[in-house]
Amino acid sequence: MAPTSTPQTPFGRVLTAMVTPFTADGGLDLDGAQRLAAHLVDSGNDGLVVNGTTGESPTTSDSDKAQLVRAVVEAVGDRAHVVAGVGTNDTRHSAELARQAEAAGAHGLLVVTPYYSKPPQEGLYRHTVHIADSTGLPVMLYDIPGRSGVPFSHETLVRLGEHPRIVANKDAKGDLGAAAWAIARSGLAWYSGDDILTLPLLSVGAVGVVSVVGHLVAPELRTMIDAFAAGDTAKAVAVHQSLLPVFSGMFRTQGVILTKAALELQQLPGGPLRLPLVGATPEEIAQLKEDLAAGGVHL
C-alpha cells in the first residue's frame, strides 16, 4: 500500500530521482538498489523516482525496469511513494511499461514528453492520455524540453490536468513565468525538476521537488521546504543559499556521473555507468569534493 498522500501533495514533498546501481560488470545490482532506497528514505525522502533520467533509463531494459521497481517497492514501498518512469517516444511501448510498473507494485508513473520525435501539442496530449488510461495509477508529467526537444504548452497542461489520474507535473523547463501561469490554471501539483529552482518555484505555488541532490542533502531539502510551508521564508532562503554550491557542483557534467561519484565517496551503492555515460575523471571528482564541502556535505 502506498503511503498517505493528499491532492495537494500526491507524492509527498521531497522525492529523489534515484540512480540505478550496477555491479562491476554492468549488471543490475538489486541488493544495492534496496540498500540505497532504504538509505534515501531514512534520510527524509517521501518518495523515490526509479527508471528516470538519473536512473539511466535509456540504457536499462524492460526487464531491468520491472525488477528495479519490484525491488524498491519491496524495500521501502510501505514508507515512501515509488514512482516509475515509463515515458518513451513510443506511445504503445510507454503504455506497456506503465502496465508493467503497475504489476510490479509502483505507486505512480512519471511520463516524460516524447523525445526526438518532436510531436505537436495534440500529439503530446494524446500520447499522455493514452498512457494515463492504460493503468489505474496516478501520473506525474515530466516537462524537460532541454532533453526532449518539445515542452508542454500552458494549454496542454490545463487540458491534461482535467484527466482524473494526471495529478502532478515535474517542471524542468526553467521558466518561472510559465510555471506560475500553469500552476494557477491547471490544478496540477507542481514539483521542481531543477534543484536550484526549488525555492523560487515554491514561491509561485509548487509543493515539492523531484531532486538529484536529494541523494546527499535530503534533510536540508526537507528543512527548506517545511520552513517555506510554515511561512519562515528567511530560514528557507538561508538553507537555499547554503546549498548553492551543491546545486551547481553536482551538475558540472551530466548529473548521473557526479551523483554516482558522490555515492562512491560516501560508500553507498551506485557502481559504474552504462555507455554512453562514463565515470567522473579525477579532476571532476576533486572539484566535486570542493563543491560538496562548500555546501556542508561531509564525505
Q: Which residues contact 199 (CB under 8 A, 6 or more apart)?
A: 224, 228, 236, 237, 240
Q: How far apart are CA 177 and CA 175, in angstroms?
A: 6
Contact by Cβ (8 Å): 170, 141: yes
Q: How far apart are CA 122 and CA 246, in angstroms?
A: 38
Is 49 annotated in a binding site? The answer is no
**Residue 50: strand pairing partners:** 84
CA distances from 26 to 40, 212, 218 (A): 22, 22, 27
Is 113 annotated in a binding site? The answer is no
Choose, from 116, 118, 125, 142, the residue flagged as catalytic.
Answer: 142
Q: 189-192 and 208-211: which strand pairing? A: parallel
- The closest of 165, 131, 133, 169 to 153, measured between CA atoms, is 169
Q: How far apart are CA 222 and CA 230, in angstroms?
A: 12
170 is catalytic: yes
The single-letter code of the amino acid at 286 is A
The b-or-e profile of 98-122 (16+ CB within 10 A means b, else e) is: bebbbebbbbbbbbbbbbebebeee
CA distances from 212 to 161, 195, 233, 247 (A): 26, 7, 23, 9
Q: Which three cell numbers stand for residue 290?
A: 570542493
Host H or E run for residue 201: helix 198-203
116 is catalytic: no
Choose, from 65, 170, 173, 260, the residue flagged as catalytic.
Answer: 170
- Residues at the binding site for pyruvate are 54, 210
Catalytic residues, which ones? 142, 170
